[in-house]
């Protein structure tokens, strides 16, 4: 057995003690040999694939790899066997890695460097398996603790596993000249209508301002109580998931902290059918309405909408649930109703600090899953007292909610006169409403005119969209 193999032969802690963790010494030597023989580009390829020296199983190989990286980082130094031996000797580690003889043997480990990319992939695979063994071993030991909080433990284990999954992703550092031409082509595809900027919302003017719901972005819809933000969110969800409303229906996860799944389903059905729920309560349901309801039921049979009505959801629970849905159901979008009903993972000094932690967690979730997250937010009732019942909300009204304004890529407000709806008695009657785009990190702001039908809980554009409605 070679020197480094003796150093590497370690049993798996806690599980299968008679078996060594996955590794291949010959592949590790091949990668190091390639880096020594042809530093450019082999060192660059290794750096791109390996975030840490721990991708090597052998401690000896880790030491040699780190020295090579250090030498390569200094433009005045060369990477070769002599330089590596000198650096290891200076560090007092030369004998520990097997001396100059072992370094010299590396040169004969390969005949060509052409397969460096595939060797790196093999090492990453083994490193991932070893990390999973470590995570599972530690998790197993934690599960024996009878005093542990089961919910928090599940979340921690899921988080650890998700980190392993993310660590598999290759580094994405690139120079702009390497991607500028590709991005120009992507922009031209957007211009020619070949691809979408983001997910269309079904509200054409909103999409013109924002580009739709874009991957990795946090989209906030805020309003005062009883204005209709949940109804507007459900209208938008309906536009996303129904094949009858979108040529490319999306998969949506809806986390409802206020309404039950049954209430949401009922609301969606009635809105799609164009009926008020009251027709069932007051016995005014007509035979002609049956066709409308049947068609609505049929439409939702093909919809991919996943509703979670867990109350008092924590940001950790949200992450865990959303990650599972992303991996299992390949969801395209997350909707949360609403932010202030969520809780932070631990104790915080103030509610403002807690909401700030929740807001930051939602933004991180959008980036990690690479999907848009639409989050509803409640404006404090004090807004009516300070700005007046008829005044439009402003970003300043979100400041009491921590860092929502800073975390969000887009902040919008739903605004209308709450009292107008009291005079509505039929499904054909509507009241005026506004969808205010107050912050748009990557685009324009403006006001969208809407019509709200209170009996159907439906928001539609006040007029067909025209390009002049969205000023440049």
Per residue in 181-224, pLDDT tens?
Answer: 777 777 787 777 777 778 999 898 898 899 899 989 999 999 88
Please say if the pLDDT value at position 1 is more than 50.
no
Per residue in 354-383, pLDDT tens?
Answer: 888 888 888 988 988 889 999 998 887 666
What pTM value is reported for the model?
0.63
Q: Which CATH class is domain 194-469?
A: alpha beta
Which comes out higher in pLDDT, residue 236 or 161? Answer: 236
Instruction: Output the pLDDT for position 401.
Output: 62
Q: How far apart are CA 110 and CA 29, in angstroms?
A: 9
Q: In whole numbers, what is the pLDDT of the chain averaged over residues?
A: 81
The mean per-residue pLDDT over the stretch 426-435 comes to 83
Per residue in 119-168, pLDDT tens?
Answer: 999 998 888 888 888 888 888 888 888 777 777 778 777 777 766 766 65
Which comes out higher in pLDDT, residue 290 or 396? Answer: 290
According to CATH, the superfamily of the domain at 3-167 is: DNAb Helicase; Chain A (1.10.860.10)
Per residue in 111-121, pLDDT tens?
Answer: 888 888 899 99
The domains of the chain are located at 3-167, 194-469
Tell me the three-class secondary structure of 154-189, residue by residue. HHHHHHHHHHHHHHCCCCCCCCHHHHHHHHHHHHHH
Confidence band of 12 (pLDDT split at 50, 70, 90): very low
Most confident listed range (42-51, 136-145, 228-237): 228-237
Instruction: Output the pLDDT for position 334.
Output: 95
């Amino acid at each position: 057995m070679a020197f480094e193999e003796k150093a590497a032969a370690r049993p798996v802690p806690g599980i299968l003690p008679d078996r060594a963790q996955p590794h291949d010494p010959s592949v590790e030597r091949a990668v190091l040999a390639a880096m020594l023989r042809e530093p450019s580009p082999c060192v660059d390829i290794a750096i791109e694939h390996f975030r840490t020296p721990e991708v090597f199983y052998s401690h000896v190989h880790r030491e040699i790899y780190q020295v090579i990286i250090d030498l390569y980082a200094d433009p005045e130094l060369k990477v070769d066997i002599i330089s590596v031996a000198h650096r290891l000797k200076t560090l007092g580690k030369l004998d520990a890695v097997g001396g100059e003889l072992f370094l010299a043997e590396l040169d004969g480990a390969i005949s060509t460097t052409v397969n460096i990319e595939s060797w790196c992939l093999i090492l990453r695979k083994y490193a991932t398996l070893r990390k999973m063994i470590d995570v599972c071993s530690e998790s197993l030991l934690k599960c024996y603790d009878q005093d542990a909080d089961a919910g928090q433990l599940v979340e921690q284990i899921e988080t650890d596993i998700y980190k392993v999954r993310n660590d598999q992703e290759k580094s994405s550092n690139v120079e702009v000249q390497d991607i500028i031409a590709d991005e120009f082509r992507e922009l031209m595809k957007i211009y020619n209508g070949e691809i979408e900027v983001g997910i269309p919302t079904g509200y054409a003017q909103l999409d013109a301002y924002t580009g739709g719901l874009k991957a990795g972005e946090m989209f906030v819809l805020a309003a005062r109580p009883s204005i209709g933000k949940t109804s507007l969110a459900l209208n938008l969800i309906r536009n996303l998931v129904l094949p009858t409303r979108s040529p490319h229906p999306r998969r949506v996860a809806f986390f409802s902290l206020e309404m039950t799944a049954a209430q949401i389903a009922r609301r969606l059905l009635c809105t799609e059918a164009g009926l008020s729920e009251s027709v069932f309560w007051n016995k005014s349901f007509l035979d002609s309405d049956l066709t409308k309801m049947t068609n609505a039921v049929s439409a939702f049979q093909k919809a991919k909408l996943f509703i979670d009505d867990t109350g008092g959801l924590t940001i950790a629970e949200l992450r865990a649930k959303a990650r599972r849905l992303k991996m299992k159901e390949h969801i395209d979008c997350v909707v949360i109703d609403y932010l202030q009903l969520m809780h932070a993972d631990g104790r915080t000094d103030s509610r403002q600090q807690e909401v700030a932690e929740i807001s930051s967690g939602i933004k991180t979730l959008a980036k990690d899953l690479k999907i848009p997250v639409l989050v509803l937010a409640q404006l404090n009732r004090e807004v009516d007292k300070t700005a007046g019942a008829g005044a439009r909300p402003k970003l300043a009204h979100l400041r009491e909610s921590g860092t929502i304004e800073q975390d969000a890529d887009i902040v919008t407000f739903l605004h209308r006169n709450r009292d107008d709806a009291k005079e509505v008695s039929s499904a054909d009657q509507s009241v005026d409403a506004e969808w205010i785009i107050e912050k748009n990190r990557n685009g324009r702001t403006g006001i969208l005119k809407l019509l709200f039908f209170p009996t159907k809980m439906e928001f539609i554009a006040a007029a067909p969209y025209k390009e002049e409605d969205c000023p440049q």
